[in-house]
Amino acid sequence: MNAFKSYDADKSGTIDGKEFKNALKAMGHTEVTDDQANEMLKKVDKNSDNVIEWIEFLDMMQLVKKNGNNFGEALTQGGKAANVITSASGAKTSYKREEVSMISRCITNTCKEDELVMERLPINPDNDDVFHACSDGMVLVHLMKHIDEDCIDMRTINKGSNLKIFKVRENLDQALGAASTRI
């Protein structure tokens, strides 16, 4: 968190292109051109809003760690998704590529007319975009609304981009709470 905050010079809660290039320089990549920095930013910026949000930063750091702490090499390789993810504590989570593909297509088809999640769609079924699209709980909230229109009061949902972690947690808690009562 401290690293993210230090790179976020304007304290906007995101890292823009200029801040990203400064971060690259701070990490020892002084030779990076503007074009290279922009290309790397595109690989990290999963939702294509031209800034790096906290979740994207975490993904980027995980990729760097996975590739032997070589920041530039990790980003230029593109970081293909793996079927097994190992956390810092050593816990492993695995998933099947087919499941990610099917869930991505299902969300895209089900929520294609939902205004609050439209900018996240379509979700590419061939990569890990679904994890980024679902990171703040809004997609899950809308999926639950398709199951039962009255299960969540939308007035209580935190909307907007770049939500603070506490607001994201509130959204996820509401969506999971609604899901647990429907089982």
pLDDT tens over the chain, length 183 residues = 777 888 888 989 888 888 888 887 777 677 778 888 888 888 888 888 888 888 888 877 776 666 544 454 445 444 443 456 677 788 877 777 778 888 888 899 898 898 888 888 898 888 888 888 888 888 999 998 888 888 888 899 988 878 899 999 999 999 898 888 865
The yes-or-no answer to whether 2-80 and 97-181 have a common fold is no
pTM of the model: 0.49
**Nearest-CA neighbor of 77 among 91, 85, 66?**
66
Sign of CA dihedral 165, 166, 168, 173: positive
CATH assignment of 97-181, given 1.20.1050.10, 3.30.200.20, 1.10.418.10, 3.30.2350.10?
Answer: 1.10.418.10
At the fourth CATH level, which superfamily is domain 2-80? EF-hand (1.10.238.10)
Cα dist from 62 to 58, 65, 84, 85, 139, whole Å: 6, 5, 13, 9, 24
Domain ranges for the chain: 2-80, 97-181
